[in-house]
């Protein structure tokens, strides 16, 4: 699926391109599942304030992305390998994250260096479940570590039902924190099932009314959507407020492997809201941009490529 220019979801168009050939140290992955993320939508729409437009254009392209195949997270099988690959072989099930300048998950095949963010797929998950782990999981892990979340702390997670929020609830519980989740009325049971000890409805609960104070308040949706909420006033004396808008998360291959291990023990479970075939990617982006999804929106790749070529 090619992003023909910056703009609304309709700029995404299905095309048939040459199958990429892996270079030295690279894997060519047959992508079976990807995820439609808010970051993909951000890049596609070039949704950045005027002060950052020139730096972003210099980095990724002026009228459209230089890498026109978007998509950050993927799960699939190694189709072929380049010279020098040491840790993977054709047929290996893998999953990963390939942020700028990589992208490329919205395609049947993509290449990635084995030294980047790619790891064996969790053995207990299908490809759709594996594709639902890296985006929210890596971001939540990075921000929770930045906050220093640890055993015995009280943490409030605002936006606990999204991709980052559902991962943050589970990871905070894994770290031993006492979790309060904030979400809409339709997601209360979901957030509670993920391990939140208390769940508040942002549409009717006064977050400050109970007098509770938290060691960490994590805004998992971003300041634009949470600006009307008194999040800072919920902090304990030395508490810390962190938002997904507070800089780009730093991720490492060890973090991806940790997500795999937590998934295999059942400590981290992927949450999937909807699945779309690749040819309906524009529709998936529109749904993501509504800002009400539960967990992740998965893109099924193989079905679309078969239909495109007229195969059964």
For the segment 115-152, what is each residue's pLDDT rounded down to a tens digit? 999 999 999 999 999 999 999 999 999 999 999 999 99
Structure tokens at 63: 């009228």
- Which part of the chain is CATH 3.40.50.720? 136-243
Closest C-alpha to 12, from 194, 277, 273: 277
Q: What does the pLDDT read at residue 228?
A: 60
Which ranges of 175-227 does DSSP label H, i.e. alpha helix? 188-193, 223-226
Q: What does the pLDDT read at residue 49?
A: 78
With a cut of 70, which residues of the chain have pLDDT below it? 224-228, 303-312
Q: What does the pLDDT read at residue 307?
A: 45
Name residues whose C-beta falls within 8 Å of residue 303's C-beta, 6 or more positions apart in sequence: 277, 278
Q: What does the pLDDT read at residue 56?
A: 85
Among 3.40.50.720, 3.90.180.10, 1.10.150.120, 3.30.1490.20, name the CATH number for the domain at 2-133+270-308. 3.90.180.10
Q: What does the pLDDT read at residue 109?
A: 97
| Separation of alpha carbons 246 and 248, rounded Å | 7
- Which part of the chain is CATH 3.90.180.10? 2-133+270-308
State the CATH class of domain 136-243: alpha beta
User: What SS3 class is residue 244?
Assistant: coil
Residue spans of beta strands (DSSP E) within the chain: 2-3, 12-13, 26-36, 73-81, 93-97, 109-113, 118-120, 154-158, 178-183, 198-201, 214-219, 235-243, 272-277, 296-300
| Separation of alpha carbons 69 and 75, rounded Å | 16
| Separation of alpha carbons 218 and 241, rounded Å | 6
Q: What does the pLDDT read at residue 303?
A: 56
Q: What does the pLDDT read at residue 248?
A: 80
Q: What does the pLDDT read at residue 276?
A: 97
pLDDT tens per residue, range 228-257: 677 889 999 999 999 998 888 889 999 999
């Amino acid at each position: 699926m090619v992003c023909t220019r910056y703009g609304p979801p309709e700029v995404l168009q299905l095309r048939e391109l040459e199958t990429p050939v892996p270079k030295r140290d690279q894997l060519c992955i047959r992508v079976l599942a990807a995820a439609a993320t808010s970051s993909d939508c951000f890049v596609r729409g070039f949704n950045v304030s005027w002060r950052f437009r020139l730096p972003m254009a210099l980095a990724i392209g002026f009228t459209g992305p230089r890498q026109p195949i978007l998509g950050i997270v993927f799960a699939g099988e190694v189709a072929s390998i380049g010279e020098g690959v040491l840790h993977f072989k054709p047929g290996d099930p893998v999953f990963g994250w390939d942020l700028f300048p990589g992208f490329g998950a919205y395609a049947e095949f993509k290449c990635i260096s084995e030294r980047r963010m790619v790891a064996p797929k969790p053995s207990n998950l299908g490809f759709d479940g594996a594709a639902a782990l890296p985006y929210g999981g890596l971001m939540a892990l990075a921000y929770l570590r930045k906050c220093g979340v640890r055993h015995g702390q009280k943490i409030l997670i605002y936006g606990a039902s999204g991709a980052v929020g559902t991962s943050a609830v589970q990871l905070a519980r894994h770290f031993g924190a006492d979790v309060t989740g904030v979400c809409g009325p339709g997601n209360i049971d979901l957030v509670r099932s993920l391990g939140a000890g208390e769940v508040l409805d942002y549409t009717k609960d006064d977050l400050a009314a109970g007098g509770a104070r938290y060691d960490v308040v994590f805004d998992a949706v971003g300041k634009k959507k949470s600006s009307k909420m008194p999040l800072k006033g919920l902090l304990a004396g030395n508490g810390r407020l962190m938002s997904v808008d507070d800089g780009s998360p730093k991720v490492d291959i060890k973090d991806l492997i940790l997500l795999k291990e937590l998934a295999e023990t059942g400590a981290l479970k992927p949450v999937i809201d909807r699945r779309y075939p690749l040819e309906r990617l524009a529709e998936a982006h529109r749904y993501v941009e509504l800002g009400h999804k539960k967990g992740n929106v998965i893109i099924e790749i193989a079905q679309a490529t078969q239909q495109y070529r007229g195969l059964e």
